[in-house]
Amino acid sequence: MLQNIAIGQYVPGTSFLHRADPRSKMLFIILFAILVFLANNVITYAILIAFTVMTVMLSRLSLAYILKSLRPVWILVLFTVILHVLITKGGEVYFQWGWFSIEEKGVTQAIFISLRVSLLVLVSSLLTLTTSPIDLTEGLERLLGPFGRIGVPVHEIALMMSIALRFIPTLMEETDKIIKAQTARGANFTSGNLIRRAQNLIPIVIPLFISAFRRAEELALAMEARGYRGGVGRTRLRTLTMSWRDGSIALAACVLLLVIGWWRT
């Protein structure tokens, strides 16, 4: 019951995108987000759409699969579309019925906003779809590395993230077990109003918390026993190396920046 909450979960593979360095993928997404907000006419959006389709092809994942895994996001997009069509006024009036009207500005706004969100979500989901969580934290640690000098606990943040990733499945299994145990004792999690249901979660959350604290304590001890002493003097098994792939991502980024800058109005 807890398996279907994965949005953009990692799919192992050997495609161009899978093999690219997580750092360049992350940096590219930041640039892409800026480009998406710079785009403001049909041509620039068309360029971005074409580019996004190309990146999806580079991931060798099926577009249908990606779209399906992002279902919760599409509901959100649909909601914003409806909201904009109904609320934003201006320009030519397409339809009028009493106070209710659909106008030109509302429709264009709805299209642009939904395009922006979809493109951004699609491209960012490609990052998580093609990068293993470990590489993701590794990349993040390296990217944030310079901030370590001004006192940001970069190593600790990355370690926290990787331990969280390690324990997600363990805690999921445990939650399932607790739910079953409480159900066997007559607890009911599926009926009653919202407040009642929230109250019913207490017998799940409390044992989960207690056990998580115990786990944390034991884990800290085990880490210490294995010589953990913070980030200083520590080496890493995984070393990230840039390749020609990352060069081509940088090139694509430059070209895209120039093209969008040129065509936007």
Partner 1 sequence: MTEERLLALQEVSFAYEGEGGQKETVLNRINLDIHKGAFVSVLGHNGSGKSTLAKLMNALLLPKEGTVLVTGIDTRDGELIWEVRRHVGMVFQNPDNQIVGATVEDDVAFGLENMGTDPAEMRTRIRESLQAVGMEAHLYDQPHRLSGGQKQRVAIAGIMAMRPSVLILDEATAMLDPMGRREVLNLARRLNREEGITVVNITHFPEEAVFSDRVIVMRAGQVEWDGTAAEVFADPDRLQALGLDVPFAVRVRHALAAEGVSLPFILHQEELVEHLCKLLLKR
Residue numbers at the binding site for partner 1 (CB under 8 A): 133-134, 162-163, 165-166, 169-170, 173, 214-215, 218-219, 221-229, 233-239
Q: Least CB distance from residue 158 to partner 1, whole Å? A: 12
Query: Of 156, 174, 160, which Cα lies nearest the Cα of 230?
Result: 156
Q: Least CB distance from residue 229 to partner 1, whole Å? A: 7
- Distance, in Å, from the CA atom of 144 to the CA atom of 26, rounded to the nearest integer, reads 11
Of the pair 34, 222, the CB lying nearest partner 1 is at 222
Of the pair 169, 261, the CB lying nearest partner 1 is at 169
Of the pair 90, 230, the CB lying nearest partner 1 is at 230
Q: Least CB distance from residue 148 to partner 1, whole Å? A: 17
Number of alpha helices (DSSP H) and beta strands (DSSP E) in the chain: 10, 2
Of the pair 164, 258, the CB lying nearest partner 1 is at 164
SS3 category, 167: helix
Residue 245 · residue 16 · CB < 8 Å? yes
Beta-bridge partner residues of 102 = 95
Q: Least CB distance from residue 174 to partner 1, whole Å? A: 9
Region for 87 from its dihedrals, namely left if φ exceeds 0, alpha if ψ lies in -120 to 50, beta otherwise: alpha
Of the pair 149, 238, the CB lying nearest partner 1 is at 238
Read off the tokens for 92. Answer: 């030519």
- Distance, in Å, from the CA atom of 93 to the CA atom of 103, rounded to the nearest integer, reads 4
Read off the tokens for 215. Answer: 């786990």
Q: Least CB distance from residue 183 to partner 1, whole Å? A: 23
- Give CA torsion, residues 58, 129, 18, 168, to 10 deg: 180
SS3 category, 96: strand
Q: Least CB distance from residue 66 to partner 1, whole Å? A: 23
Of the pair 194, 237, the CB lying nearest partner 1 is at 237
